[in-house]
Structure 1
Amino acid sequence: MADTVRTLVLNKKDNVAVALEMVHKGTTTPEGVVALDNIARGHKLAITAIAAGDPVLKFGQIIGFAKSAIAPGQWVHEHNITMGALSQDYDFGQGAVPPDILPADKQASFMGYRRQNGNAGTRNYIAVMTSVNCSATAASLIANQIERSGILADYPNIDGIMVLKQANGCVIDNRGALFDILKRTVWGYASNPNIGGVLLVGLGCEGFEIARFKKACGIEENQTFRTMTIQESGGTRKTVEAGVAAIKQMLPPVNDVKRVPVSVSELVLALQCGGSDGYSGITANPALGMATDILVKNGGTAILSETPEIYGA
């Protein structure tokens, strides 16, 4: 009897299986198919006969069309699969299934941090942010000094300190669309409910001027939101010293929070495709998908970016 190898059929509609290990010619798959080729781990083999021009299905979706007839057990790859004409109904919401959401009194809860704006976070970080790439080094040095000092151990409600750098902000029109986009993005990070304190560091001459940014957002500095520029502080060394001092002053109020029960319906999960390989579509992506289904069932929200890779990656 031929050896049996491990394969995976991802959807009952599929006519291909994924090799979970090297499949040697002549071995038998759990589907009862004898391999006609040597098939590398992560690659596909046909589990039914696929006629020339017929769709090849993986994840229950059409991923291409057979260039020629493909026999059961044959390797399925670029040499025998191609793109083809496909007519789809592009009306918005076609095929959408209303989410199955639990009643509010049945939804799960978590212990989170309630912020002054009403939002709730799962963590409590201090963020050292930059208004321009020129201040990235100073921001990193500030955070590194705080981490190396060991002072965070004295503040158990603070999860850590992070550096959020960005490459824009220099030569931009402070009345233009780029300024507006950057303003919303920077404030979006700064006001994220997982951030308990913010130090925004700039150079001083950038188009994305910190003073104009604060005025545009209606922000006033306080115990947990501080800003500074390298030029006003007198150089990088003095900026780092001032930044470290500002963070140390910020630690007590940022630490002065308590977790309280929060409905899972308030959670927003951000999903970004990245580092895709032959396995992310059968490992990380389905796991995240199932976790997201649970979140949505409890009234939560998921946001998917890089939509061309929503399936198949």
Structure 2
Amino acid sequence: MIADLPAVLVLNAKDNVGVVPANVDAGRALVNGVVAAERIPRGHKVAISHIAEGAPVLKYGQIIGYATKAIQPGEHVHLQNLAILDLALKHEFCVDNAPAVMVPEERRRTFDGFDRGNGRIGTRNYIGILSTVNCSATVSRYVAEHYARRFREAGHDNIDGVVALTYGGGCALNLKSEGGRILTRTFKGYARNPNFGGILMIGLGCETFQYGPLVEEAGLEEGKTFRTMMIQNQGGTRKTIDAACEMIDDMLPDVGRIRRTPQPLSGIKLALECGGSDGYSGISANPALGVASDLLVKEGATTVLSETPEIYGAEHLLTRRAARPEVAEKLLSRIDWWRDYTARNDAELNNNPSFGNKAGGLTTILEKSLGAVAKGGSMPL
């Protein structure tokens, strides 16, 4: 019940701010004799002790920014008095990397999944359409919509659906550039993703990002459940859609024959990503995911913190858990890349949190990151 909630949540004994779980009106007693000096919106921060101008503001026992003016106990702490200044974090490597206590092999659990071979285990059985250039994106979407209607009318035993993965580039892209390398790596990942029982790649024909070299480099071979096609070879949009549907129709029986079988939890690879974050995320959903992450890793599974920009300001906590020094160095090199990227593009690291994040109580990227990394639990990096 809301009536049973404390007026303020203090998350660490070092903190000089707390989070109010519900709207607080001026005059309400908070903690340790501190009284709210003004209305504090739910999920937002309130000072629980005096914070001098320029002094660090602490939440989770960590620095989330610095006071831009003196803040009195009971005052709302947010954009009007908190900002990022130069932050010098101490990066210690591997000091918290205690050997993980794993579940013994004979007691490890299983789930019903799709065995794709070579240790790849899926939780779904989709057919994926990959458009290798923006010019084939519309065709890809039309084909996926055709099967969405068809599956709604009749369904298809054991196939979760046909989905189109499209994007807006690929035409005159320099494949040796950073964007080109990321795109190539992403497509290889899609093509090998164990949640796909079948793949159809659709290109235009004249784009720089050709699927031929990609397929060869990835060690893929065309067959019943992996096909490729070019719009210019088919003679236009309508003919391509018809030909693509014929190819997928040919795939359906083979993809549909794949059945779920008991698979080890160690085959799970779980991607962890924040949705619409607010002041509660770092104290509720994200720590809960961290517990789930630990449970899976103890079974031999892998979890991934998938948003490097939402690690900045908390990377020192992860380097302490690095399995090896070179792992910590690799993480810091990505953070350095992100600093350089924002500088080159006239941006700033604190562009994140978004407007909605701030409305929900998050003030700085340091605060958001400290809550975001909680999804990674406590196991070695």
Q: Shorter chain as normaliser: what TM range?
A: 0.7 to 0.9
Distance 1:201 1:306 in 2: 28
Aligned twin of 1:204? 205
Tell me how far apart the structure 2 counterparts of residues 98 and 10 of structure 1 sit (CA, whole Å).
27
Partner of 2:321: none
Matched position secondary structure for 1:137: helix
Bigger relative contact order, structure 1 or 2 (CA pairs below 8 A, ≥6 apart): 2
The normalised TM-score by structure 1 is 0.87
The within-5 A match list for 1:89-108 is 89-108=90-109
The 8 Å contact of residues 119 and 267 in structure 2, kept in 1 or not, is answered as no
Are the aligned partners of 1:126 and 1:161 in contact in 2 as well (CA < 8 Å)?
yes
RMSD after superposition: 2.8
For residues 151 and 279 of structure 1, do their structure 2 counterparts lie closer, same or farther at Cα, with a shift above 3 Å needed? closer
- Is contact 1:143-1:162 (8 Å) kept? yes
Give distance in 2, aligned partners of 1:49 and 1:186: 52
Q: 1:148 to 1:22 in 2, by over 3 A?
A: same
Distance 1:81 1:167 in 2: 38
TM-score, length basis structure 2: 0.73
Q: How does 1:21-40 map to 2 (within 5 A)?
A: 21-29=22-30, 33-40=34-41
Unaligned runs of 5+ in 1: none
Stretch moving more, 194-203 or 39-48: 39-48
CA distance in 1 between counterparts of 2:105 and 2:136 reads: 46
Residue pair 2:19, 2:279 contacting (<8 A) in 1 also: no
1:272 and 2:244 are equivalent in the alignment: no
- Aligned AA for 1:140? R
Shift of 1:111: 1.2
Please tell me whether Structure 1 or Structure 2 has the larger radius of gyration of its CA atoms: 1
Q: Partner of 1:115: helix, strand, or coil?
A: strand
More divergent stretch after superposition (95-104 vs 229-238): 95-104
Q: Which has the higher helix share?
A: 2
Show structure 2 runs of 5+ residues with no match.
315-366, 369-381
CA gap 1:213/1:86 in 2 versus in 1, 3 angstroms: closer
Shift of 1:272: 3.0
d(CA) in 2 for partners of 1:86, 1:154: 55
Deviation track 1:131-188 (CA, whole Å, cap 9, x = no partner) reads 1110000000001011112378453211111110123321135677765543332121
Query: Matches of 2:309 and 2:56 in 1, distance apart?
Result: 20
Q: Deviations over 1:27-52 (max 9, x none)?
A: 12366642122212221112344455
| Alignment partners' CA distance in 2, 1:243 and 1:208 | 20
Which deviates more, 260-269 or 45-54? Answer: 45-54
Q: For the residues of structure 2 that align with 1:81 and 1:298, how far apart are their CA atoms?
A: 42
- Per the alignment, residue 18 of structure 1 pairs with 19
Per-residue Cα deviation, 1:172-227 (whole angstroms, up to 9, x for no partner):
35677765543332121111111111111110111122233323333221111111
> Separation in 2 of the partners of 1:70 and 1:56?
10
Q: Deviations over 1:75-126 (max 9, x none)?
A: 2234444545655332433444543322222332211110133311111111
- Aligned residue-pair number: 311
The 5 A counterparts of 1:1-313 are 6-29=7-30, 33-50=34-51, 54-67=55-68, 70-83=71-84, 87-150=88-151, 153-172=154-173, 181-273=182-274, 275-310=276-311, 312-313=367-368
